[in-house]
Structure 1
Amino acid sequence: MSENTLIIGILKTLNENQHALAAAVEEISNRLDQEASSIMAMNINGALDIINGNTTYIGDALETLEKLKN
């Protein structure tokens, strides 16, 4: 396995983990919002906004790396 293939695989796995963590945190945020912990929910949603914004950049970078691999 080439070094580039390994790096791309690791980054894809990290990206999948990021999506899973974001989904889990969003569920927690929704629950807190329902239980009148709206300040905490707002803080969590702010962090989720950062994660979601970075997801686009990571996806674009992975796509570029895939093209460079070939």
Structure 2
Amino acid sequence: MPTPEYSLPDVLERMHENQHALEAAIMELTLLIESQGSIEIGGNVRGALDTIRDNAGHINQGLARLKAQ
């Protein structure tokens, strides 16, 4: 059985993947909430998700630099 990688870049990459999975799950819940008429709450959540998406590019660049070292 291969030994899993626990280097900093690998751990951060998995955390980033988890962030994307949580983003998708939260969006699904947001769509449900909005379909039930809670448009204001949906808008608030979408704002938070925009922050996650904005930061994703920075995280990707940081991971690429760490892996290149």
Partner of 1:6: 7
**Could you tell me how far 1:49 is from its partner in structure 2?**
0.3
CA distance in 1, matches of 2:23, 2:47: 12
Partner of 2:55: 54
Give percent identity, aligned residues only. Answer: 33
RMSD value, Cα? 1.0
CA distance in 2, matches of 1:36, 1:6: 45
CA distance in 2, matches of 1:46, 1:33: 14
TM-score, normalised relative to structure 1: 0.86
More helix by share: 1
Partner of 1:44: 45
Alignment of 1:1-40 (within 5 A): 6-40=7-41
Runs of 5+ unmatched residues, structure 1: none
Secondary structure of 1:36's counterpart equals: coil
**Could you tell me how far 1:27 is from its partner in structure 2?**
0.5
**How many correspondences in the alignment?**
64
**Could you tell me how far 1:38 is from its partner in structure 2?**
0.4
CA offset digits 1:5-31 (Å, max 9, x no partner): 611111001000000000000001111
